[in-house]
Amino acid sequence: MARSWVKGAVKVDESEMAELMDVEAFRGRLDAVLDRLRDGFIKQFSVRTSIGELNTVQAGGLVGGRG
């Protein structure tokens, strides 16, 4: 059942966000989370080859265009 008050995306520009929060600190926290996520993918996303060796698949370019 859809909620009648849900209207869709609301665009908020950086100046509006800055009135409520420290935008640069928020960006820094987001970048840190993305870095940890990317590092986790790189470390954990391994493929076992037919001879039993582990090869790591680089996934750096998948998250937010980084890496």
Q: What's the pLDDT band for 67 if we cut at 50, 70, 90?
A: very low
- Determine the average pLDDT of the residues in 4-30: 90
CA distance 27 to 21: 11
Residue range(s) defining the domain that contains residue 55: 21-62
Residue 46 has phi, psi (to 5 degrees) of -115, 155
- Please check whether residue 11 lies inside any domain of the structure: no
| The predicted structure's pLDDT at residue 9 | 87
By residue count, the chain amounts to 67
- Please check whether residue 57 lies inside any domain of the structure: yes
- Determine the average pLDDT of the residues in 40-50: 64
- Determine the average pLDDT of the residues in 42-52: 58
**Residue 37 CB: number of other CB atoms within 10 A?**
15
- Please check whether residue 43 lies inside any domain of the structure: yes
Domain count, the chain: 1
| The predicted structure's pLDDT at residue 20 | 94
β partners of residue 54: 48
Enter the tokens of residue 33.
């989370």
- Please check whether residue 6 lies inside any domain of the structure: no
- Please check whether residue 10 lies inside any domain of the structure: no
Enter the tokens of residue 62.
């998948």
- Please check whether residue 32 lies inside any domain of the structure: yes
